[in-house]
């Protein structure tokens, strides 16, 4: 029998998109979220065309499309000289190429739009302030007051729902940390361009920055090797820690970038965790999606977008076949896709953080690569049509 009812644990991007995707397929969905209220979390997100396409189909994109920024390009630049190295055109060219827009926005903007759709949906109930500590089928049924044909773990990198999936992976420190700054746009220096995503690259580190148009700020994230402080989401560093980070990670970088990171207001930093290899489903009625299944480093800016694809592909699968068979098919299909995207992230890390002769070779290749060729290499990521994969 195909799925009639589902319980989703976690109301992040993965959980809310899954709830909407399943409900749009006629399934009744209960969502359980530990936070008592959906508060402002994190900062910026890049949503590429493969994610925007799904958000459009779910009626979510139109809730913020007049407020987010569709950048003209993603441009790689030298962290030492600030000069451009390579450009992937986005904007109108990208939309025509991939059939959906590429945009940047504050996480809260996306979260609020998803939440609004979820709250308005007659087939979805959302229960906030409900943390699932020791998941079992019975405990989840009692929590929502109904049995369900499908249980979805969308509870992030520290997932408790993994306990229901034999052989699931575990959160694993990546060796990298992210430092985040949100700078009022009026205070940001002119070399931070306002119409594009810029990734400044240097030996063993890179800095991604782009405008958050709807909040009048610049989002700036620096990623380099870092320590594991244990289970943590974001930490406010001391000034001494900030100076140590800039001195260590950005040695030899352009002084204007270093000064910006030394003076930008309210820095926070995260240790970056991935999830080790393991199963995503029990092949019966439990499935992990988003970061709970496959948290990845943000080198390809695809973690949230993969969660969105997961949600939509999952709904398409469970709509068309019995749940056990759907989950087997789902895991095989999504595993191949996510592995390829993760490999692209690994390649970006290698290219962004290159040093010495490898960096010189990289720059020579970029100099010879026309923008259209760089865009074409991303067709398989951004042109993906979730929900339309052969069953
Ligand atoms: C620095 C950085 C930059 C990034 N930039 C991008 C980008 O530009 N584009 C992109 O696509 N991705 C990006 N990502 C990745 C992206 O943030 C994540 O992949 C995405 O947010 C994962 O969403 P999720 O819903 O799976 O998990 P989460 O966002 O972690 O949501 C999990 C939800 O489950 C709830 N929960 C957890 N445990 C329980 C429990 N036991 N019971 C009940 N509820 C629970 C949580 O409160 C939360 O609401 C970035 C990541 C980082 C670190």
Segments making up each domain of the chain, as ranges = 5-71+100-170+275-355
Residues with CB under 6 A from ligand 1: 9-15, 32-35, 45-46, 131-132, 154-156, 160, 178, 221, 270, 272, 290-292, 298, 301-305, 307
Q: pLDDT higher for 266 or 287? A: 287
Q: Which atom of ligand 1 is nearest to the CA of 306?
A: 11
Residues 62 and 71: their CA atoms lie apart, in Å, by 17
Q: What is the pLDDT of residue 292?
A: 98
Cα(220) to centroid(ligand 1), Å: 18
Cα(106) to centroid(ligand 1), Å: 13
Cα(189) to centroid(ligand 1), Å: 30
Cα(147) to centroid(ligand 1), Å: 27
Beta bridge mates, 206: 201, 223
Categorize the per-residue pLDDT at 350 as very low, low, confident or very high, splitting at 50, 70 and 90.
confident
Cα(307) to centroid(ligand 1), Å: 9
CA atoms within 13 A on the CB side of 35: 9
Q: What is the pLDDT of residue 158?
A: 96
- The residue nearest atom 6 of ligand 1, judged by CA position, is 301
Candidate from 155, 302, 344 with most ligand 1 atoms within 8 A of CB, to mutate:
155
Q: Which atom of ligand 1 is nearest to the CA of 296?
A: 19
Phi, psi of 203 (to 5 degrees): -60, 120
Render pLDDT for 27-82 as a digit per residue (tens, 0 to 9): 999 999 999 886 666 689 999 999 999 999 999 999 999 999 999 999 999 999 99
Residues 291 and 179: their CA atoms lie apart, in Å, by 20
Does residue 234 surpass a pLDDT of 70? no
- The residue nearest atom 19 of ligand 1, judged by CA position, is 303
Does residue 233 surpass a pLDDT of 70? no
Cα(226) to centroid(ligand 1), Å: 20
Provide the CATH topology of domain 5-71+100-170+275-355.
FAD/NAD(P)-binding domain (3.50.50)
Beta bridge mates, 219: 182, 210
Helix 13-24 with 303-320: angle, nearest 10 deg: 30
Cα(364) to centroid(ligand 1), Å: 36
201-230: b or e for each residue (b if 16 or more CB lie within 10 Å)? bbbbbbbbbbbbbbbebbbbbbbbebeeee
Does residue 228 surpass a pLDDT of 70? no
Render pLDDT for 268-301 as a digit per residue (tens, 0 to 9): 988 899 999 999 999 999 999 999 999 999 999 9
**Average pLDDT of span 237-261:** 92
**Average pLDDT of span 1-27:** 96
Which of 64, 84, 60 is CA-nearest to residue 74?
84
- Residue 80 burial (10 A CB sphere; 0-12, 13-18, 19+): middle
Candidate from 45, 128, 312 with most ligand 1 atoms within 8 A of CB, to mutate:
45
């Amino acid at each position: 029998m195909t799925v009639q009812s589902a319980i989703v644990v976690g109301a992040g991007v993965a959980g809310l998109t899954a709830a909407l995707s399943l409900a749009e397929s006629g399934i009744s969905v209960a969502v359980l979220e530990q936070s008592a209220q959906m508060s402002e979390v994190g900062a910026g997100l890049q949503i590429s065309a493969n994610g925007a396409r799904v958000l459009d189909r779910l009626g979510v994109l139109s809730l913020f499309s007049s407020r987010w920024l569709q950048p003209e390009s993603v441009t790689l630049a030298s962290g030492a000289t600030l000069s451009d190295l390579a450009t992937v055109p986005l904007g109108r060219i990208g939309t025509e190429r991939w059939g959906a827009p590429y945009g940047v926005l504050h996480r809260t903007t996306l979260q609020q739009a998803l939440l609004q759709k979820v709250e308005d949906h007659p087939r979805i109930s959302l229960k906030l302030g409900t943390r699932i500590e020791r998941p079992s089928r019975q405990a989840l049924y009692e929590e929502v007051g109904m049995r369900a044909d499908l249980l979805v773990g969308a509870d992030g990198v520290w997932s408790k729902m993994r306990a229901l999936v034999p052989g699931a992976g575990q959160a694993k420190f990546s060796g990298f940390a992210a430092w985040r700054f949100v700078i009022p746009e009026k205070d940001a220096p002119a070399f931070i361009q306002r119409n594009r995503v810029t990734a400044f690259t240097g030996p063993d580190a890179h800095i991604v920055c782009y405008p958050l148009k709807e909040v009048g700020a610049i989002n700036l994230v620096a990623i380099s090797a870092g320590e594991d402080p244990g289970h943590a989401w974001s930490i406010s560093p001391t000034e001494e820690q900030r100076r140590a980070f800039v001195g260590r990670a950005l040695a030899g970088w352009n002084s204007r970038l270093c000064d910006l990171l030394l003076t930008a207001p309210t820095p926070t930093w995260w240790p970056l965790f991935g999830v080790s290899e393991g199963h995503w489903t029990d092949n019966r009625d439990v499935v992990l999606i988003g970061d709970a299944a496959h948290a990845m480093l943000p080198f390809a800016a695809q973690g949230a977008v993969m969660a969105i694809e997961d949600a939509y592909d999952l709904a398409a699968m469970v709509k068309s076949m019995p749940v056990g068979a759907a989950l087997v098919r789902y895991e095989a299909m999504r595993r191949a896709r996510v592995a390829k995207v993760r490999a692209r992230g690994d390649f970006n890390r290698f290219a962004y953080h290159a040093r010495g002769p490898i960096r010189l070779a990289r720059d020579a290749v970029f100099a010879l690569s026309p923008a259209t060729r760089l865009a074409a290499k991303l067709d398989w990521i951004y042109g993906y049509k979730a929900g339309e994969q052969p069953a």
